[in-house]
A and B are shown apart, each in its own frame.
Chain A
Amino acid sequence: MWLIFAATHPSGLTNPAERTPPTGGAATTNAYDRQVTTDATIDQRRAAADGLELDEHGEMPFPGAERPAREYDLDVGGLRLRVHEWGDADAPPMLLMHGGFDFARTFDGFGPRLAAGGWRVVSWDQRGHGESEHAALYSWDGDMRDALAMFDHATSTSGDGTSRPIPVVGHSKGGALMTQLADAQPYRFRSLVNMDGIPYKRNIPDVAEHERTTMLANDIAGWLDHRRAAGTKQRRPGTLTGLATRRARMNPRLPEQWLQRLVTTGGELVEVPGDGDAAASTSGWRWRLDPSMRFGGFGPWRPEWMLWRLPGLPMPFLGILGSEMEEMGWGTPPDKVAPYLPLDGRCEVLDGVGHFVHIEQPDLVAGMVLEFMGTPS
């Protein structure tokens, strides 16, 4: 039988009794309060695989992909974050951070290749992503603080228990965020690899100011409307192949079999009860990603500010950019990055490769990263 998910969502809210008078009513209804059946058995996952053959873990196999050697939860500031590790537990640690709307298991191909170089590869699902808890609030600062907790964890639990600088690899948002953290706390970094996470500027065409204001108005109204409805949002389950096909719109260059694996590692097989007694329940796969998160948005931050932090970085720096522009890419022209490289830095451009450099070319990119990071110690 499937387990019954707790009737309360795992939001981690602190709400002492004297502060929480809400007792029902439409305003306090949250779709996550409905009982959702999850933790399906492997047999149930296989039966819902659209005829695809899942492995002994109920996951879609992919050549060269490996499950993490260790997976566990960490409490970070009251939030439960899921950690995934590849490699020997006693090997020197390094951190690997995924991009926005991704999750650590997207490193199932890249992580083991780095681990084969003699590293303990520590990655985690960012708050609201993968198997980590859905938070009430999301921000760049919050993600940076979570990342810092992972530094503390990885270094304090390394072989000899001492804290020291470690190599760091980040993809996309993970690369950009680690670049800012490297500027703020350089003593934690032995080296930094930024994989297609170097922002240049917004992809907004040149338009008149009054038109730009209209765009901003639509962005803001759309976002606020989303927030008004966020408390009742619930992902509708779909088929394994259906989710993989939809993800191909965001990841058009990645193999179908890989996207199917993502559904089985970043998604879950669930049964969602109907809205009323007569309504039938719905079962299928859905992404674990917090449905309150969405693309787009607005705010004061400007991508080029990140670029300005690059020249001063003191640790060895390697940027890896894909030359092919695509939906999830940041559209950074390599010639725009060159003037900002730090003294001990370089940037490699991979021709014919898209935003997910480490998934498209795992052997090539892992080889570059291992050579750059040097001997594990």
Chain B
Amino acid sequence: MTVHERDTAGITWLRHNRVDLALHRLRAANDDATRPLLLLHGLGEATPAEVPSWIDWSGAVYGLDFTGHGRSTVPAGGGYSSETLLADADHALAELTDNDPERSITVVGRGLGAYVALQLAGARASGVHGAILLDGPGLAGGATGPSSMSYTPLPGSLVGAAPDQYALIELCRELRPADYATSFVRLANGGSPAATPIAVCATFRPKWLDAVADAPGVADTTLADAWSLYA
């Protein structure tokens, strides 16, 4: 996906602590009965200007720019974790469901966004009716345990434009143990009304995603089938 300039009219600004997050409405619903779809971009990406051609969804389509990405705030000094991005996505969930725990959305994530989508599906199981995990930048993450890549020095100041260089370097080496990832599957299975709350459609399978795809309650399927699972 490429970053494009866009009219701010389609953006809802969400305040996450000290960060302003850009939630883009890419398209209104063709069918009001279908829940909204939230697109989570990959590491170093941003919400695209238009609904990607591979999205087959009749409800409204939104995209969130994570902290340090797209139009969202680029904070000083880094300090990224996917858990903070999970909280970013949770703010979008609150907005799209109007804070109503009875309402839900479907999430589709690319790369890093797929990892966050998995976490959101576990953390807010009743609010996420289906998480579709796709290939994309930042999918693999870093090591799965302690490694010699225990620290990566950076220049003193990297403050600047999105994507935030701190985000790129910190999130690409983030620890992703498989059992941590599958704990979110268990949470999703325990709290989601969907029979298979997570769909893995990625071709590349790093260890964490391989474990997720093998877990009970996960659909290891094609993207076309995933849309019909949650429509």
Question: Which residues of A pack against B, CB within 8 Å?
Answer: 9, 11-16, 19-22, 25, 27-30, 75-79, 127, 134-139, 141-142, 144-146, 148-149, 180-181, 183-185, 209-210, 213-214, 216-217, 220-221, 223-224, 227-228, 230-231, 292, 297-301, 305-306, 308-309
A169 to B83, CA, bound (A): 30
B110 CB within 8 Å of chain A: no
- Cβ-closest chain A residue relative to B86: A224
Q: CB distance A142 to B175 under 8 Å?
A: no
Find the B residue at minimum CB distance from A134: B18
A–B complex contacts, Cβ < 8 Å, 27 sampled: A13-B19, A14-B75, A14-B76, A19-B74, A21-B8, A21-B11, A30-B15, A127-B77, A127-B79, A136-B67, A137-B77, A141-B170, A145-B77, A145-B78, A180-B151, A181-B151, A209-B186, A216-B183, A217-B125, A224-B90, A224-B123, A227-B87, A227-B91, A231-B15, A299-B83, A300-B177, A301-B175
A77-B158, A184-B150, A213-B187 known; A231 vs B77 contact (CB < 8 Å): no
A155 to chain B, nearest CB (A): 15
The answer to whether B77 and A22 touch across the interface, beta carbons within 8 angstroms, is: no
> Chain A residue with minimal CB distance to B23?
A27
CA distance A12 to B75 in the complex (A): 7
Residues A76 and B123 in contact, CB atoms below 8 Å apart: no
Expressed in whole angstroms, the minimum distance between the Cβ of B192 and any Cβ of chain A is 12
Q: Of residues 10 to 43 in B, which have CB atoms within 8 Å of A's CB atoms?
A: 11-20
Q: Are B90 and A216 in contact (CB under 8 A)?
A: no
Q: Are A135 and B180 in contact (CB under 8 A)?
A: no
Contact of B79 among A21, A137, A184, A220 (CB under 8 A): A137
Are B75 and A135 within 8 A (Cβ)? yes
**Nearest CB of chain B from residue A307's CB, rounded to whole Å:** 9
Q: Which 6 A-B pairs have the closest CB atoms?
A: A78-B76, A137-B79, A142-B79, A136-B75, A184-B151, A227-B87
B161 within 8 A of A: yes
- Give A186 Cβ to nearest chain B Cβ, in Å: 11
Q: Is B191 positioned at the interface, with any CB of A under 8 Å from its CB?
A: yes
Residues of B within 8 Å of A, CB-based: how many?
58
Q: Closest residue of chain A to B187, judged by CB?
A: A217
Q: A209 vs B215: C-alpha distance in the bound complex, in angstroms?
A: 15
* Residue numbers in A under 8 Å from B73 (CB-CB): 13-15, 19-20, 136
Q: With a CB–CB cut-off of 8 A, which chain B residues contact A16? A: 161
Check A77 against B13 for contact (C-beta < 8 Å): no
B60 to chain A, nearest CB (A): 19
Whether the Cβ atoms of A11 and B151 lie closer than 8 Å is no
CA separation between A134 and B186, bound complex, in Å? 35
Are A137 and B15 CB-contacts (below 8 A) given A213-B187, A228-B94? no
Bound together, the chains give a CA A151 to CA B17 distance in angstroms of 30
Measured CA separation A13–B8 after assembly (Å): 20
Q: How far is the CB of A292 from chain B (nearest CB, A)?
A: 5
Contact call A137/B183, Cβ cutoff below 8 A: no
The distance from the CB of B125 to the nearest CB of chain A, in whole angstroms, is 8
